[in-house]
Amino acid sequence: MQTCVLLLLAFCFPVMLNALAPEEGGSISLMLGCGLDEGGGKDSEGRQWSPDNKYLSEETNSKTCRSSFQDPSLLSEVPYMTTRIFTSEATYKFPLQPDKRYWLRLHFYPSIYDTFDPFNSYFSVTANDVTLLSNFSASITCQALSQAYLDREYSLAPLNSDTLTLTFKPEKRNGSFAFVNGIELIEMPELFDSAPLVGYSDQTMDAKSLHFQTMFRLNVGGQFISPKDDSGLSRTWYDDTPYLYGASTGVTNQATKDVIINYKTMPQYIAPPNVYSTSRSMGSNKDVNMGFNLTWIFQIDPNSMYLTRLHFCEYYYDKLNEIVFNIYINNQTAETEADVIGWTGAKGVPTYKDYIIYVKNEIGDDQLWLALHPTPTTSPEFFDSLLNGVEVFKLNDTNLSGPNPQPSDMLIEHEEKTKTFQDKHNGKKTFVIGSAAGGAAGFALVAAIVFVVNNQKKKKSPGSYTASNWLPIYGNSHTAGTKSSESGKSVGSGNLSVMAQGLCRYFSLQEMKQATKNFDESNVIGVGGFGKVYKGVIDNGFKVAIKRSNPQSEQGVNEFQTEIEMLSKLRHKHLVSLIGFCEEDDEMCLVYDYMARGTMREHLYKGNKPLDTLSWKQRLEICIGAARGLHYLHTGAKYTIIHRDVKTTNILLDENWVAKVSDFGLSKTGPNMNQGHVSTVVKGSFGYLDPEYFRRQQLTEKSDVYSFGVVLFEALCSRPALTPNLPKEQVSLAEWALYNKRKGTLDDIIDPNIKGQINPESLKKFTDTAEKCVSDFGFERPSMNDLLWNLEFALNMQQNPDGSAHASPLKEDEFEEVSLENNDMTAHYKNLGLGNEHELSHESSSDNTAAIFSQISNSKGR
């Protein structure tokens, strides 16, 4: 027990330990930045990295270099920008405790170093007798993963030696060399024991003596966790969304604040509380849940053993047989009747389960499937399943290396395009970079700089907003003053800023009940993650939509507050307006404009059948309206706001068919102050998600542009973004449309109801634009500005096929002014003391104009 505590302490302070020179017999914790100078350096998390030279063997020939290019995805220079290069076999020697397990992490940034092109670098790495890498190309691996850098993590079983000899050996081929940017060697507790062997009933395998390579480590249903936020073992946990299979991805859950993760006898270093306090489950519909498996798919090397560690914690239910499910790994049953409460005995208590599986070397054996399905036979109370975290490790006693991944043809093609794009636009070829990500980065860097400039212009701490910048406070709204301060207390958390409360009207619960006939079911017009949406009537006849939160969901509270904060600051003709909110007795409601004609989707198709309600011209107008709303979010507000969940059900239509973007519950203000992107948990809807967001978990407004491209194709083809029951190549609308566009067969998939009415020029403009929107790389996609211009052009071609008039986005203002005259909402806002919509929405529109045109001319030049 005592040692356990000591260990824990040791792992809580790796930085401190690192400051001490490792001594014989002491536990060591090394973080070496290869090629760093005497003083070492700090990484983005403030962790100190030391130089590596004193661990190099004397006879070693090596050279230190510095990269001339910092990819924007590198959050700090340390440890990636400097490297040590070996042109012949070389060794490091580290002191070791012979009976302890160690993390060994190797960091690689394949960039050009002096005359060394990482493209030529192939090498092997061994740790004593264990082969970690062979014929390894960091460059190809990064290219295939579409990353700029690579972190490899190994967990070495006790080596029965007091020295670790780490050997780098270049392959025998022309010009080959080995390199490494960072090495971490950290003593760790024994995390592994024996585990059942899947597919062999009652057999277990001892994992204690095996070496591990971490393949995946995911915080299921939760966020990215950085090494610093790990529970002492400096691990990185990623979001699980990119690994989910199919369209049925379940729902994510988060423990409420009052739940304390109680580790009982389990050491906290197994996984941090953040892993256990979020989860993914299937949802609340039994019939739906019985019809699918909640499935994750992982790419792995065949012909090897894998240990899958599943982390569980139930923080909602607390009885046996409430949620009972089966676990399948690679289509074999790993566990039947898994009942988390059965395992832990109480809610809030975490646990984990290990399963070992052998993956053969046959065609198609390069994937690991993990699937969960409710067990019907025990008649559980809810037909659901649950997972909080997953780790996948490759196991071996001598050789952990695998082949280099094969970059897909599509990626290689993109890389070519990227290079030519770069050449054209930079006009110079100072660096030719061997990886797709690195190549893309050349441009991204420019974008990042623009962002920073933008930010500085826009930056203002939220506290420095004053309501009077925006709105007269309250005006004549009779309910305001006292009630809202009361409600401020009732939140308890005090998260809802006074400002936001000042910006919109406060409704009492009584008013909400009156408006909806006591939340009568007959008034329900929709159901979302947040809760039900009701139709209601306020102020003697003014129609509103009332979103009522499900009081149980903590996520609801956050999104509720986000939404109030966001929406109360945003007013625009093409955004659904928030009129007010109610917060009383644990009830939370948001009150919006009522959108008489519902969602865009319900006018395009029903099920998989196209509907004949909208003409091509109407569809164009709706798309343009929605694009204006998004454009305003991206550029018009004080912060750049990324919607994150652009889809046809979030584009609503009022009685005059005016499109308005809704649902900002997921929105993020971005880009973050220090980077050109928001690094965040992937949220949003499948079928609409930006692939770049997957690869890098980085969000930019171009993620919205991608989703909007899918919306454009939806408007053209009248089918859902994802149709899982179609043949594989047709499942995703974006892919299927692109495929047809490139093959020249787009005509075949256009909605037959409108095919005959579309002017060919208009179609061409529209589809070219949609195609650009769904480009793989954000920088290839148009800005919302550019997009708007193109859509206006398409509309113009439809209306004036002879080309007599040209669209101009500058007309937008006139157009809006005119339409405001007839807008009865203006009057209503005045009544509510919310001021005039127009004066609220045009905070900064002129400073984008120059950008519009420069971007248009650029994109035409391609």
Q: How far is the CB of 131 from ligand NAG (least distance, A)?
A: 4
Strand partners, 582: 589
Q: How far is the CB of 141 from ligand NAG (least distance, A)?
A: 9
Nearer to ligand NAG, 205 or 445 (CB): 205
Q: Does 304 bind ligand NAG (CB under 6 A)?
A: yes
Nearer to ligand NAG, 401 or 553 (CB): 401
Ramachandran region, residue 349 (left: φ > 0; alpha: ψ -120 to 50; beta: rest): beta
Q: How far is the CB of 78 from ligand NAG (least distance, A)?
A: 29
Q: Does 328 bind ligand NAG (CB under 6 A)?
A: yes
Tell me if 547 is assigned to a ligand binding site.
yes
Q: Does 836 bind ligand NAG (CB under 6 A)?
A: no
Nearer to ligand NAG, 336 or 552 (CB): 336
- Contact segment (CB under 6 A) with ligand NAG among 285-293, 510-518, 608-616, 763-771 equals 285-293
Nearer to ligand NAG, 399 or 508 (CB): 399
Nearer to ligand NAG, 291 or 752 (CB): 291
Rounded distance between C-alpha atoms, residue 171 and residue 354, angstroms? 36
Q: Does 167 bind ligand NAG (CB under 6 A)?
A: no
Q: How far is the CB of 778 from ligand NAG (least distance, A)?
A: 28
Q: How far is the CB of 396 from ligand NAG (least distance, A)?
A: 4
Helix-strand-coil split of the chain, %, nearest 5: 35, 25, 40
Q: Does 135 bind ligand NAG (CB under 6 A)?
A: yes
Q: Which of 645, 690, 704, 751 is catalytic?
A: 645
Rounded distance between C-alpha atoms, residue 710 and residue 733, angstroms? 7
Q: Does 292 bind ligand NAG (CB under 6 A)?
A: yes
Site for ligand NAG in 377-406 (CB under 6 A): 396, 399, 401-402, 404
- Contact segment (CB under 6 A) with ligand NAG among 6-14, 326-334, 443-451, 600-608 equals 326-334
Nearer to ligand NAG, 122 or 507 (CB): 122
Q: How far is the CB of 701 from ligand NAG (least distance, A)?
A: 36
Nearer to ligand NAG, 62 or 330 (CB): 330
Rounded distance between C-alpha atoms, residue 129 and residue 111, angstroms? 29
Query: Which among 254, 842, 178 has a CA at the least distance from the CA of 570?
Result: 842
Rounded distance between C-alpha atoms, residue 147 and residue 439, angstroms? 10
Q: What is the DSSP string of 21-74?
A: PP-TTS--EEEEETT--TT-EE-TT--EEEESGGGB-TT---EEEE-S---TT-
Which of 224, 317, 369, 694 is the binder for ligand NAG (CB under 6 A)? Answer: 369
Q: What is the 3-state secondary structure (H, E, C) of 143-212?
A: HHHCCCCEEEEEEECCCCCCEEEEEEEECCCCCCCEEECEEEEEEECCCCCEEEECCCCCCEEECCCCEE
Per-residue tokens: 61: 């020939």
Q: Does 367 bind ligand NAG (CB under 6 A)?
A: yes
- Contact segment (CB under 6 A) with ligand NAG among 367-375, 569-577, 624-632, 828-836 equals 367-375
Q: How far is the CB of 408 from ligand NAG (least distance, A)?
A: 14
Which of 293, 455, 775, 785 is the binder for ligand NAG (CB under 6 A)? Answer: 293
Rounded distance between C-alpha atoms, residue 576 and residue 656, angstroms? 14
Q: Does 174 bind ligand NAG (CB under 6 A)?
A: yes
Rounded distance between C-alpha atoms, residue 562 and residue 661, angstroms? 16
Q: Does 305 bind ligand NAG (CB under 6 A)?
A: yes
Placement of tokens 């356990």 in the chain? 4
How far does Cα 395 stand from its chain's mean position? 29
Q: Which residues contact 512 (CB under 8 A, 6 or more apart)?
A: 519, 536, 546, 548, 582, 587, 589, 591
> Is there a contact between 625 and 660 (Cβ–Cβ < 8 Å)?
yes
Site for ligand NAG in 109-128 (CB under 6 A): 122
Placement of tokens 């080309």 in the chain? 803
SS3 of residue 652 by DSSP: strand
Strand partners, 30: 185
Q: Does 589 bind ligand NAG (CB under 6 A)?
A: no
Nearer to ligand NAG, 246 or 528 (CB): 246
Q: How far is the CB of 237 from ligand NAG (least distance, A)?
A: 24
Rounded distance between C-alpha atoms, residue 21 and residue 33, angstroms? 15
Query: Which among 118, 30, 116, 44 has a CA at the least distance from the CA of 77?
Result: 44
Rounded distance between C-alpha atoms, residue 76 and residue 72, angstroms? 9
- Contact segment (CB under 6 A) with ligand NAG among 254-262, 287-295, 424-432, 772-780 equals 287-295
Q: Does 461 bind ligand NAG (CB under 6 A)?
A: no
Q: How far is the CB of 158 from ligand NAG (least distance, A)?
A: 18
Residues touching ligand NAG, count (CB under 6 A): 26
Rounded distance between C-alpha atoms, residue 594 and residue 257, angstroms? 33
Which of 18, 62, 330, 568 is the binder for ligand NAG (CB under 6 A)? Answer: 330
Q: Does 212 bind ligand NAG (CB under 6 A)?
A: no
> Is there a contact between 651 and 618 (Cβ–Cβ < 8 Å)?
no
SS3 of residue 130 by DSSP: strand
Rounded distance between C-alpha atoms, residue 813 and residue 845, angstroms? 9
CA-based angle 724:547:481, to the nearest 5? 155
Nearer to ligand NAG, 369 or 542 (CB): 369
Q: Which residues contact 341 (CB under 8 A, 6 or more apart)?
A: 314, 317, 318, 319, 320, 322, 323, 347
Nearer to ligand NAG, 373 or 619 (CB): 373
Nearer to ligand NAG, 373 or 696 (CB): 373
End-to-end CA distance of the chain: 67
Task: Please confirm, yes or no, whether 704 is among the known catalytic residues.
Answer: no
- Contact segment (CB under 6 A) with ligand NAG among 110-118, 267-275, 301-309, 633-641 equals 301-309
Q: Which residues contact 14 (CB under 8 A, 6 or more apart)?
A: 29, 31, 47, 186, 232, 234
SS3 of residue 92 by DSSP: strand
Q: How far is the CB of 405 from ligand NAG (least distance, A)?
A: 8
Q: How far is the CB of 364 from ligand NAG (least distance, A)?
A: 6
- Contact segment (CB under 6 A) with ligand NAG among 83-91, 291-299, 430-438, 672-680 equals 291-299
Q: Does 426 bind ligand NAG (CB under 6 A)?
A: no
Which of 101, 107, 217, 373 is the binder for ligand NAG (CB under 6 A)? Answer: 373
Residues in the annotated binding site: 547
Active-site residue numbers? 645
Contact residues for ligand NAG, defined by CB under 6 A: 122, 131, 134-135, 137, 140, 174, 291-293, 303-305, 328, 330-331, 364, 367, 369, 371, 373, 396, 399, 401-402, 404
Binding residues for ATP: 547
